[in-house]
A and B are shown apart, each in its own frame.
Chain A
């Protein structure tokens, strides 16, 4: 599975959009981009995933560049409860691919 690079930490003001970048320059054609987050002392929470088209759900939007070498997770209106570590993971879409977690981005939403 391709590796990802994320900033170690980011701050965001409450009510503003949080834009979390992820680089995955070695991604291959059949690999999906998954985003999870982990609030302190809890299990990871699934947010969204995509292959090449932009995706949106009730939690967030995922913007994937045309060359698929990077993506951005957007939380449109961040709240204090969105403070967490956000993981961007690239995974093979087949049944053999596993989720391998990197260090993620620690997002701090401030009042």
Chain B
């Protein structure tokens, strides 16, 4: 099946530093990747959509200068949280879209990255 990996799985950083999270589609090429975040006891919230080779589209309320997204290849997207603060502590999850044979497209999700900003 379609596998999406994320690295790191867990990161703790000091306030004011930047953190980069990688998302890879391991066995398929994904023209579109998505970034979500999830606060405790809440559902996933879509942050942005990125297409390979073009600028990401951010959801309303998500600061594009704070959450930098790069989608340089069909198998890799990165999310950089710049100048992280404690309120950025969350569970960040990426997703990649692919087409199943004879069907419409489907999104597969990575295992998530737990970010804790001290």
* Binding between chains A and B: yes
Q: Hey, which bits of chain A sit against chain B, CB under 8 A?
A: 32, 34, 36, 38, 41-46, 49, 51, 87, 93, 95, 98-104
10 A-B pairs whose Cβ atoms sit less than 8 Å apart in the complex: A41-B112, A41-B114, A42-B111, A43-B4, A43-B93, A43-B110, A44-B93, A46-B109, A99-B34, A99-B95
Q: Could you list which residues of chain B lie within 8 angstroms of chain A, going by C-beta atoms? A: 4, 6, 32, 34, 36, 43-46, 49, 91, 93, 95, 103-112, 114
Contact A98 B34 (CB under 8 A): yes
The answer to whether residues A46 and B46 also contact, given A98-B34, A99-B95 and a CB cut-off of 8 A, is no
Chain B residue numbers with a CB within 8 Å of A51 are 104
The interface residues of chain B lying within 8 Å CB-to-CB of A102 are 43
Of A42, A46, A101, A103, the residue contacting B106 (CB under 8 A) is A46
Contact call A43/B34, Cβ cutoff below 8 A = no
Report B69 CB to chain A, min CB distance, Å.
Answer: 15
User: Is the beta-carbon distance between B107 and A42 smaller than 8 angstroms?
Assistant: no
Q: What A residues does B108 contact at CB under 8 A?
A: 46
Assess the B49–A98 pair: CB atoms within 8 A. yes
